[in-house]
Amino acid sequence: MRASAVMVLASSLLVACSGSNGDEAPMPEPDSLLVEALVTLQLAEARAALMEENRDSLRAEAYAHVTRSTALDSVTIAEAVDRAAQTPEAAALLYQRVADRLAAEQRGD
């Protein structure tokens, strides 16, 4: 269930985005571990949506994999997404990095 909450937060990043006036310093790149974690969780959610059985176990395994491979737990991920959502430019950049990685995954890159 925590995966769903994080995915809702990540999905809401697009809604939180607004245009920049161009006078601000460029935003730093989102942490690659956070991007990788969000991509992994999004893919797990998509796979779970296609499955009739074992949805919860797939979600649990996705979180276990993210924690093992990135050392980010669900609380850390949610806090990082919340921080990014506070700044529209950071939210847009994080969203774009995740979208780019998902597109690359779909292409098989």
Give the pLDDT confidence of 9-45 residue by residue, as tens digits.
455 443 444 344 444 444 445 689 999 999 999 998 8
Q: Is 24 within the bounds of a domain?
A: no
Q: Is 20 within the bounds of a domain?
A: no
Q: Is 48 within the bounds of a domain?
A: yes
Q: Is 36 within the bounds of a domain?
A: yes
Tally of domains in the chain: 1
Distance between CA atoms of residues 63 and 34, nearest Å = 13
pLDDT digits (tens, 9 = 90+) for 46-78: 888 888 778 888 888 888 988 898 888 889 999
Q: Is 21 within the bounds of a domain?
A: no
Q: Is 101 within the bounds of a domain?
A: yes
Q: Spell out the residues 6+ positions from residue 82 whose beta carbon is closer than 8 angstroms to its own.
A: 9
Distance between CA atoms of residues 40 and 65, nearest Å = 9
Q: Which domain holds residue 53?
A: 2-12+29-107
Q: Is 52 within the bounds of a domain?
A: yes
